[in-house]
Amino acid sequence: MTAPKLVQGYEVVIGFETHAQLSTKSKIFSRASVAFGAEPNTQACAVDMALPGTLPVMNIGAVERAIEFGLGVNAHIAERSIFARKNYFYPDLPKGYQISQFEIPVVQGGEVSFFLEVGKETVHKTVRLERAHLEEDAGKSLHEDFIGQSGIDLNRAGTPLLEIVTQPDMRSSDEAVAYAKELHKIVTWIGICDGNMQEGSFRCDANVSVRKPGAALGTRREIKNLNSFKFMQQAIDYEVRWQIDQIEDGHAIEQATVLFDPDTGETRAMRTKEDAADYRYFPDPDLPPLVIGRDWVERVKSEMAELPRVMAERFVNDYALPEYDATQLTQSKAAAAYFEATAKACGQPKLASNWIMGEVSRRMNAGDVNFETLPVSAAQLGALIARITDNTISNSAARQVFDGLWNQEGEVDAIIDAKGLKQINDTGALEAIIDEVLAANPKNVEEFKAGNTKALNGLVGPIMKASKGKANPAQVNELLMKKLG
């Protein structure tokens, strides 16, 4: 492991709490719908409104998703976990408590690992998870400034959440963002969360502290509800600088909950942090312990799709791809499927990978296109790569063919013909061009023969130009060397 990079002599320590909204149709303890965007309070039933006499009933789909997550991160699935009441007052919480898990969560331990770029190096990082527990979301206060009133919308009350808590293992905002992206990939890949950050389906709280290397953990401040990767990075960077400034000015950091304001780029204290003791947690008498038999876990395991890290390993073993490529290509199921289909179509996995991570990604980023809407099919890309390997076209010509495919101009061979991109492999034709260029550039020939190898460039360039870029570069080189002795 490389030593962590220090900021002004301080080590940064970050731990994450992430709320992933589970992709069930109904709420965690009631049958009301969780669909986003409905009229206020049209999706809140008696249980969600906390009417007296109502009782929560566990949604089995939420439990199943928690099991899937646990299996996806190599965690222990508790055979028996407990729901607890977390007591606090807030207008959007009519029960006066949130049902969550405290002492015994359903998912225990586990880890998330990923690659990240540090300077020119690719570093492998593993973040240990502490736990993931099931809980319900609260409602929402709506402040209607134009009528000077606030209202409560309980549609979100009872929405199933999985709160995923890490150990304080991250050492920079870059690591934190890479972790959050990897976690986002895992939950969307498994399909337990739609990952929509704008709608709040995946929101992160970043706990940040700084310390001198080797010192005990510093006091943390928790940045709440980060709902974009960009803001996450900005918020943590600002917070780290702020804490260091405070300490350097002789102030102690006070534990607090803070909010990031994207308009000012600053974090601001919301409230001083309450401790677990303030919530008076106790087991919810309305819900029995959550019991998960091993047979249930086994069934879920057998029905789960191949996980991204397992798939990446397979890409390394079966296609001889570097680990970095394999990781990049398993960023989404669609990317992985596109790669596998392309590799099969051309029989050249590494070239397929290079093209997808290079030209294809570039065009996708520039055009706001994703793997689902990509205009070039895997079969077409495969056919294009096959034409490079059988020497029909050069790499630079291939990029022109790719443009043609992107613009829906036809199939690979038709585009090669239409654009006249066939590589000249015919020795006689190449020699004729070379002789012409040599005769026209006697000075370069002299210089090369006198030992100036750079003079060769002055010959290859005009040859490629005379062939309209269609000469086979390897062959040109070989013939040229022969002619120049």
Which residue has its beta carbon closest to ligand ADP? 15
Min CB(281)–Mg ion separation in Å:
14
Which residue number, 40 or 168, has a Cβ lying nearer to ligand ADP? 168
Asked if 168 is part of the footprint of ligand ADP (rule: CB under 6 A), the reply reads: yes
- Residue 355 CB neighbour total at 10 angstroms: 24
Residues near 472 by beta carbon (within 8 Å), at least 6 away in sequence: 391, 394, 423, 424, 425, 430
Using the rule CB under 6 A, which residue among 74, 87, 108, 167 binds ligand ADP? 167
Looking at residues 385 to 414 of the shown chain, list those that interact with ligand ADP (rule: CB under 6 A).
Answer: none
CA–CA distance from 122 to each of 289, 322, 327, 335 (Å)?
44, 12, 12, 21
Nearer to ligand ADP, 209 or 353 (CB): 209
Copy the structure tokens of residue 329: 């290509």
Question: In this structure, which amino acid lies at residue 176?
Answer: A
Contact with ligand ADP (CB under 6 A) among 166, 173, 380, 394 = 166
Please give the Cα distance from 274 to 285 (Å, whole number).
Answer: 24
Other CB atoms within 10 A of residue 368 CB? 7
* Structure token digits, residue 262: 């994207």
Identified binder of ligand ADP from the candidate list 13, 178, 343, 346, rule CB under 6 A: 13
Which of 104-112, 194-202, 215-223, 323-331 is the region at the interface with ligand ADP (rule: CB under 6 A)? 215-223
Q: In the block, which residue shows the tokens 């290397």? A: 213
Contact call for residues 163 and 132 (beta carbons, < 8 A): yes
Q: Is 218 in the site for ligand ADP (CB under 6 A)?
A: yes
**Do the Cβ atoms of 66 and 20 come closer than 8 Å?**
no
Contact stretch for Mg ion (CB under 5 A) within 13-21, 190-198, 210-218, 233-241 = 13-21
In angstroms, the CA 126 to CA 170 distance is 9
Q: Which one of Mg ion, ligand ADP, none is in contact with 167 (Cβ closer than 5 to 8 A by kind)?
A: ligand ADP
Q: Nearer Cβ to ligand ADP, position 243 or 444?
A: 243
State the amino acid at position 363 in one-letter form. R
Binding partner of 256, given Mg ion, ligand ADP, none, CB within 5-8 angstroms per partner class: none
Q: Binders of ligand ADP among 79-138, rule CB under 6 A?
A: none
Q: Assess 335 for contact with ligand ADP (CB under 6 A).
A: no
Work out what residue 209 binds among Mg ion, ligand ADP, none; the CB cut-off runs from 5 to 8 Å by kind: ligand ADP
Can you say whether residue 72 is alpha, beta or left, with left for phi > 0 and alpha for psi between -120 and 50 degrees? Answer: alpha
- From Mg ion, ligand ADP, none, which one binds at residue 359 (CB under 5 to 8 Å depending on kind)? none
Residue 476: half-sphere exposure toward Cβ, Cα within 13 Å: 24
Write down the least CB distance from residue 80 to ligand ADP, Å. 21
Task: List CB contacts of 128: < 8 A, sequence separation 6 or more.
Answer: 109, 110, 111, 166, 167, 169
Q: Whole-number minimum distance, CB 243 to ligand ADP, in Å?
A: 10
Position 267 contacts ligand ADP (CB under 6 A): no
Q: Which stretch binds ligand ADP (CB under 6 A): 7-15, 190-198, 291-299, 421-429?
A: 7-15
**What is the closest distance, in whole angstroms, from the C-beta atom of residue 174 to ligand ADP in the complex?**
16
14 binds, among ligand ADP, Mg ion, none (CB under 5 to 8 A by kind): ligand ADP
User: Cα–Cα distances in Å, from 428 out to 77, 349, 388, 422, 465?
Assistant: 71, 34, 21, 16, 17
User: What residues make contact with Mg ion under the rule CB under 5 A?
Assistant: 17
Interface contacts to ligand ADP, rule CB under 6 A: 13-17, 165-168, 207-209, 217-218, 220, 222, 276
